[in-house]
Structure 1
Amino acid sequence: MPKVLGIHLICHNNLNVEDLENGYFKSGHWKIAERHPNTAQYLALHESKNQQSYRQGIIESWERCSERPDRITFYVKATNEPVEWKGGGTGEKGYFWSDD
């Protein structure tokens, strides 16, 4: 059964992004189905779909936002290599799916 390996998001000007210690950051208030962050390995933030990510990394954990339980905050170990947008659709989210 296919599963999400990567999550690509439109996030202008580091909105709701916070630098943490030791090369980590958090990015929050995303409306994403819970099944996707459970399987996703990485998160990539983009200004637009036709630009490489400006911030990306390995998803270490996630939690529901206390002020909005229908939203998710990701905790991410930053990496240096920008990635191209992956995923279809017309909204602010793109998912990179596995083949199995």
Structure 2
Amino acid sequence: MDWSDEKLIALSKAERTSLRRNADRMGHRDLVERLDNLNVRGRSKSVGRSAPTGPVIGYHFICPTELAIERLPDGQFLTGVWKVAESQVARSMAVGAYVALHTAKTETSYLMGEIVGWSVEKRNKGDTSSTGITFTCIERPTSELWYGAGAGEKGYRYDGDDPA
């Protein structure tokens, strides 16, 4: 079948996910890459719009598998330290925000959880002036596509963003 961008865009998220799995299983790398690029592009709704005013409801981070992750015995995990504005995190807590960790923007998250707490920590052991946020999360048995614009290691999903 001819998979034009228009046909791929017309598919639901579940249909694109199923098609990607099948294409990967059958060795159609070109289609897998097109679907991955389409999913990332489709999720980056903040490009070209004014700065968001709502709280962040989803934090997406590029984090090599389990790097600096601490799993707690009660099903919670600590994320490691991320440079995120404290004021934004406080607003996120009120709306049940989540953290999704990815190995790449083109991959679904390998670990995801609802934020139940956070603390300010030193980012580098020898540098006392650089701090960041460590999130405490309750693990969810789901995964998310990358969400957020920009070229860095962080992506934010704001309240009101279209989930595509």
TM-score by length of 2: 0.57
1: CA distance, partners of 2:88 / 2:73: 26
Please state how far the C-alpha of 1:33 moved relative to its aligned partner: 1.1
1:47/1:54 contact within 8 Å kept: yes
Encode CA deviations 1:36-79: one digit per residue, 9 max, x unaligned.
22233100000000100000010000001155561111100000
The answer for the alignment partner of 1:73 in structure 2 is 134
Q: Which residue of 2 aligns with 1:82?
A: 143
Q: Which structure's relative contact order is higher, taking Cα pairs within 8 Å and 6+ residues apart?
A: 1
Match of residue 155 from structure 2: 94
AA aligned to 1:54 is Y
2:81 counterpart SS class = strand
Please give the secondary structure, in 2, of the residue aligned with 1:36: helix
Structure richer in helix, relative to its length: 2
Where structure 1 has 5 or more consecutive residues not aligned to the other structure, the ranges are none
What is the letter of the counterpart of residue 81 of structure 1?
T
Larger radius of gyration: 2
Question: 2:99 corresponds to which residue?
Answer: 43
* Moved segments of 4+, more than 3 Å: 66-69
TM (norm. structure 1) is 0.91
* Aligned counterparts of 2:137 and 2:60: Cα–Cα separation in 1: 13
Number of positions where the alignment pairs a residue of Structure 1 with one of Structure 2: 100
Distance 2:73 2:82 in 1: 22
% identity of equivalent residues:
37
Structure 2: 5+ residue stretches without partners: 1-52
> Quick check: 1:34 aligned with 2:86?
yes
Contact 2:65–2:110 (8 Å) recurs in 1? no
Q: After the TM superposition, which residues 12-27 of structure 1 pair with which residues of structure 2 at under 5 Å, given as runs?
A: 12-27=64-79
CA–CA distance in structure 2, aligned partners of residues 47 and 36 of structure 1? 24
